[in-house]
Chains A and B, each alone.
Chain A
Amino acid sequence: MNRREFLKVAGLSLAGLTGWQTFNLLSGGAFAKSLPGVQNSVQKQWGMVVNMEACSRKAGCNDCIDACHRIHNVPDLNSPKDEVKWIWTASYDKVFAEQDHAFSNKGLKNRQIIVLCNHCENPPCVKVCPTKATWKREDGIVMMDYHRCIGCRYCMAACPYGARSFNWKNPRPFIKEINQDFPTRTTGVVEKCNFCEERLAKNLLPACVEACEEKALTFGDLNAADSELRRILNTKFSIQRKPHLGTQPKVYYTV
């Protein structure tokens, strides 16, 4: 075999090897389906809608925050510097800074809005995590694996919503009563809302949704066209936090 013949055969065999996969990929065969990013269309996508009007009815109400922080052993460190939070409130002009203007409704401007992890469709925290301690589950929940977190806080820098907190201290002495059914965290890990993943596994609604007496929070599957969540989003005007960033938050707000 001379060089010319060898190159011909080598080229043909290479084309043969890759050709099958190319065919498979373009024809939507098994190979294409095994690729990550090809989503199963029946998969649930959890989302939440906050009715800001209903949420403001009871002044100073913290039922959802208390329920969440009690169940998840979130410590009360009593200092804004060390603060650990999963769900909290901030004023309208902070939460929707891009919506606020000099003449916006005064009542709305000072209103405390409930905020939590947005479980983004395109989460920047996941992109920056060097250990994959945070990742997006198939049902859209942005999860944390505290075992794997090395406390680098890249995710905190990446999150545009301030939804992540770092444990500067051992949180245990600052938890009033430890819920034995849920682990605490330890010094040096980042934590955040998990959309009550542990309750969803037991077919329970998230603790904040259940605790709200005004029914201001609605939780459900964004992929189910007949869900209450979709009905509200379909009939009312809803906004998201910082939509221009392209993170596609799955927590929606109705005015």
Chain B
Amino acid sequence: MYNAGKVITGIIIFLIIVLSPFWYNGLTGKTAYVPLLKVPDTAKQCVESTQYMKENHMELLNSWKETAVRQGKKTYTAKDGKTYGINLTGTCIKCHANKEEFCDKCHNYAGVKSYCWDCHNYPKTGAWEQKTAGSRK
């Protein structure tokens, strides 16, 4: 190999630069960061188990939308037989009143944008009208 020293040094420098976000986060201890959610103490369990909600809340909310809006059925029967009103503001937000500390924590961390709140209401915790203004592109 010609110029082995230069090539290998170049590759090492290239890797250091390209992987710099990983080094940086590893050195500053940010890789260990896990968003901790403020879970309400008003109820012991959400409509389904915590694990199920973590993994499937988006499918559940989507099916709630379909059932309530398109089929006109306004109640949901959970796996344990309990019934809940299908209502994002009335059921979900009744417990999870602090959107910033609950929805946004994970969604910001994962970089997932939801436009639920462009239309649906939640209790005012800030200047939310301005924040949501025209956010749906």
Residues of A whose CB lies within 8 Å of any CB of B are: 135, 137, 143, 145-147, 170, 172-173, 178, 180-188, 197, 201
Complex contact A147–B65 (CB within 8 A): yes
Q: How far is the CB of B37 from chain A (nearest CB, A)?
A: 23
Q: How far is the CB of B123 from chain A (nearest CB, A)?
A: 8
Contacts of A188 in B (CB 8 A): 136
Decide yes or no whether B25 CB sits under 8 A from chain A: no
13 A-B pairs within 8 Å (CB atoms) are namely A137-B72, A145-B69, A145-B70, A146-B119, A147-B65, A170-B132, A183-B88, A183-B89, A185-B119, A186-B115, A186-B119, A187-B134, A187-B136
Interface size class of B (residues with CB under 8 A): 10 to 19
Among B64-109, those with CB < 8 Å from A are 65, 69-70, 72, 74, 88-90
**Secondary structure of the A contact surface, majority rule:** loop
Complex contact A178–B136 (CB within 8 A): no
Find A173's partner among B72, B115, B129 (CB 8 Å cutoff): B129
Residues of B whose CB lies within 8 Å of any CB of A are: 65, 69-70, 72, 74, 88-90, 115, 118-121, 123, 129, 132-134, 136
Whole-angstrom distance between the alpha carbons of A143 and B70 in the complex?
Answer: 8
Q: How far is the CB of B29 from chain A (nearest CB, A)?
A: 40
Complex contact B133–A184 (CB within 8 A): no
Contacts of B65 in A (CB 8 A): 147
Whole-angstrom distance between the alpha carbons of A188 and B119 in the complex?
Answer: 12
Whole-angstrom distance between the alpha carbons of A170 and B128 in the complex?
Answer: 13
